[in-house]
Amino acid sequence: EAQVTQNPRYLITVTGKKLTVTCSQNMNHEYMSWYRQDPGLGLRQIYYSMNVEVTDKGDVPEGYKVSRKEKRNFPLILESPSPNQTSLYFCASGRQGGSYEQYFGPGTRLTVT
């Protein structure tokens, strides 16, 4: 089954404790992306990757890192999480280009205390 998976689905952590949220897709997509969703602010893009070893900032990249060492994986790294990074995070993937649809993961709900 074609899908985007994220782990963990739920995470409660403390300020400053490094964490990684994993994202994996099995559709051989070139493009992968991370979004965060907050009440009243909608979905905002954090980082994206056009292909292996190619990453770029989205609208809200501060406090986040990403890497794309393999085509199928695109982990989101929070080196020193802060309470304002409490949010619902979604990973997405798609074929290269603006005429193709994207597929989203189930989401990771992160709480930073």
Which 21-80 residues touch another protein, going by CB under 8 A? 31, 33, 37, 42-43, 45, 48, 50, 58
How many C-beta atoms lie closer than 10 Å to residue 33's C-beta? 23
| Binding flag, residue 1, another protein (CB under 8 A) | no
Q: How many helices (H) and strands (E) does the chain have?
A: 0, 11
Residue 41 neighbours by CB under 8 Å, 6+ apart: none
Q: What is the biggest distance separating any 2 CA atoms in the chain, rounded to whole angstroms?
A: 41
Residue of 4, 13, 9, 11 whose CA lies nearest to 108 = 9
| C-beta of 53 vs 79, nearer to another protein | 53
| Binding flag, residue 105, another protein (CB under 8 A) | yes
Nearest distance in Å: CB 26, another protein: 15
Stretch that binds another protein, among 12-20, 64-72, 75-83, 85-93 (CB under 8 A): 85-93
Token pair, residue 86, equals 């409490």
Interface residues with another protein (CB under 8 A)? 4, 31, 33, 37, 42-43, 45, 48, 50, 58, 88, 90, 92, 94, 96-107, 109
